[in-house]
Amino acid sequence: MSITLAVAKGRLAEDLLTKLIDAGIDCADALNPGRRLIVPSADGSISFIFVKPSDVPTYVERGVADAGVCGKDTLLEENKPLLEMLDLGFGKCRLCICGKQEMHEAGLRSSAYRVATKYPRIARALFERRYVNAEIIELHGSVELAPLVGLSDVILDIVESGGTLFANGLSIIEEIYPISARLVVNRVSLKTRSDEIKRLLDALKEAV
């Protein structure tokens, strides 16, 4: 029986599949899925399901996927009871507080901020821990726009190359957390499908 692996669509999926192919698992079909959302590996041992990155933890927690691959940022935000088994080492970026240059120079000294972010839970917890009043403004993309148009004072977002910040005249005020792709596993699957999970884990260890 095949193991079901929920994969964050986009760059992480491409990195993962390329590495699995290098490790000898034929999943070229999954690398070019077209509009298909469920694609098996050539030997049928893995069934890949492609989902929105923030939905990976939900599929794994509910057990419809035995395991999943998504960024640590998503795991921190979704905070589901999953088993994190492996740091895959790709998809590296940093979760940062960023803002305009003047905010960068002043540092985070104010007692209240408007924070635009795709990560409302992480942001709330972060500012609460610091006893700083924060109005969290949840966005779903193009977060860098918020300080430019006066929607927020700062953003909490991932920075990879820094290109988006640079192109918009923003800079990092503080780095919060290093991020990379992780393999997570459903708690029940780990017991009931331990052989298949071990095989997947070994293949991924070899691949990365």
Stretch of 20-28, 96-104, 121-129, 152-160 lying at the interface with ligand PRP (CB under 6 A): 152-160
Query: Least separation, in Å, of the C-beta of 102 and ligand PRP?
Result: 21
How far is residue 94's CA from residue 54's CA, in Å, rounded to a whole number?
17
The answer to the question of residue 95 lying near ligand PRP (CB under 6 A) is: no
Residue 163 binds ligand PRP, judged by CB under 6 A: yes
The smaller minimum CB distance to ligand PRP, of residues 52 and 187, is found at 52
Q: Looking at 1, 141, 149, 191, which residue binds ligand PRP (CB under 6 A)?
A: 141
Contact 127, 133 (CB under 8 A): yes
Is 143 a binding residue for ligand PRP by CB under 6 A? The answer is yes
What six digits make up the tokens of 141?
């993309």
Kindly tell me which residue out of 22, 87, 138, 160 binds ligand PRP, with binding defined by CB under 6 A.
Answer: 160
Distance CA 8, CA 205 (A): 19
Binds ligand PRP (CB under 6 A): choice among 45, 54, 164, 171: 164
Identify which of 54, 106, 48, 42 has the alpha carbon closest to the alpha carbon of residue 80: 54
* Residue closest to 12 by CA, chosen among 71, 77, 54, 95: 71
Backbone angles phi, psi at 51, to 5 degrees: -130, 165
Per CB under 6 A, which region of 105-113, 121-129, 162-170, 179-187 contacts ligand PRP? 162-170
- Contact residue for ligand PRP among 15, 77, 78, 144 (CB under 6 A): 144
The three-state secondary structure class of 34 is coil
Number of residues assigned to the chain: 208
**Which parts of this chain interact with ligand PRP (CB under 6 A)?**
141-144, 157-164
